[in-house]
Copies of this chain bind each other. A is one copy, B any other.
Amino acid sequence: MEKKARVLIDCDDEKGLVYKFSKVFFDRGLNIDSNREFVDKEKGKFFMRTVVTGDFNIKELEEELKKIIPSNAHLKVIEPKRKKIVILATKESHALGDILIRHEAGQLDADIEAVISNHDVLEQLVRRFDIPFFHVPTEGLSREEHEDYVAKLIDEQTFDYIVLAKYMRILTSSFVARYPEKIINIHHSFLPAFIGANPYKQAYERGVKIIGATAHFVTDDLDEGPIIAQDVIPVNHRFEWRDMQSAGRDVEKIVLSRALNFVLNDRVFVHGNKTIVF
Contact = CB atoms under 8 A, between A and B. Distances in A.
Given A26-B16, A105-B93, A232 B210 contact: yes
Interface stretch (A37-45, A72-80, A170-178): A37-45
Interface in A54-68: none
A227 B208 contact: yes
Contact of A32 (B18, B31, B250): B18
A252 B22 CA distance: 40
B193 A208 contact: no
Contacts of A208: 191-192, 227, 230
Contact of A190 (B25, B193, B226, B231): B193
Interface residues of A, number: 75
B15 A19 contact: no
Copies per complex of this chain: 4
A92 to B, nearest CB: 8
Nearest to A216: B207
A273 B26 contact: no
A206 interface: yes
Q: Which applies to chain A's interface (DSSP): helix, strand, loop or mixed?
A: mixed
A236 B93 contact: no
Contacts of A105: 92-94, 97
A228 B207 CA distance: 9
A230 B254 contact: no
B35 A277 contact: no
A36 interface: yes
Interface string A234-278: 101110100000100110001001100000000000011111110
A205 to B, nearest CB: 8
Contacts of A29: 15
A246 B107 contact: yes
A33 interface: yes
B277 A236 contact: yes
Contacts of A22: 16, 18-19, 22
Nearest to A50: B18
Interface string A176-209: 0000000000000011111000000000011111
A72 to B, nearest CB: 19
B26 A33 contact: no
A232 to B, nearest CB: 6
